[in-house]
A and B are shown apart, each in its own frame.
Chain A
Amino acid sequence: AQKITQTQPGMFVQEKEAVTLDCTYDTSDPSYGLFWYKQPSSGEMIFLIYQGSYDQQNATEGRYSLNFQKARKSANLVISASQLGDSAMYFCAMRDRKKTALIFGKGTTLSVSS
Chain B
Amino acid sequence: GAGVSQSPSNKVTEKGKDVELRCDPISGHTALYWYRQRLGQGLEFLIYFQGNSAPDKSGLPSDRFSAERTGESVSTLTIQRTQQEDSAVYLCASSPRPSGIGETQYFGPGTRLLVL
Q: CB within 8 Å of B: which residues of A? A: 4, 31-33, 35, 37, 42-47, 50, 52-53, 91, 93, 95-97, 99-107
Contact = CB atoms under 8 A, between A and B. Distances in A.
Given A31-B101, A45-B93, A50-B102, A100 B42 contact: no
B107 A101 contact: no
B56 interface: yes
Interface string B74-116: 0000000000000001010100000101101111111010000
Interface of B: 31, 33, 35, 40-45, 48, 50, 56, 59, 89, 91, 93, 99, 101-102, 104-110, 112
Given A42-B109, A47-B106, A100 B99 contact: yes
Contact of B101 (A43, A47, A95, A106): A95
B78 to A, nearest CB: 19
Given A95-B101, A100-B48, A45 B107 contact: yes
Contact of B33 (A32, A47, A101): A101
Nearest to A97: B101
Given A44-B109, A100-B48, A35 B42 contact: no
B48 to A, nearest CB: 6
Q: What 7 A-B pairs have minimum CB-CB distances, sorted nearest first?
A: A45-B107, A104-B42, A101-B45, A33-B101, A104-B43, A106-B42, A33-B102
Nearest to A32: B101
Contacts of B33: 101-102
A27 to B, nearest CB: 11
B48 A35 contact: no
B104 A91 contact: no
Nearest to B99: A100
Contacts of A99: 45
B42 A105 contact: yes
26 contacts: A31-B101, A33-B101, A33-B102, A37-B107, A43-B89, A43-B110, A44-B107, A44-B108, A45-B91, A45-B93, A45-B107, A47-B104, A47-B106, A50-B102, A53-B101, A91-B42, A95-B101, A100-B50, A100-B56, A100-B99, A101-B59, A104-B42, A104-B43, A104-B44, A105-B42, A106-B42
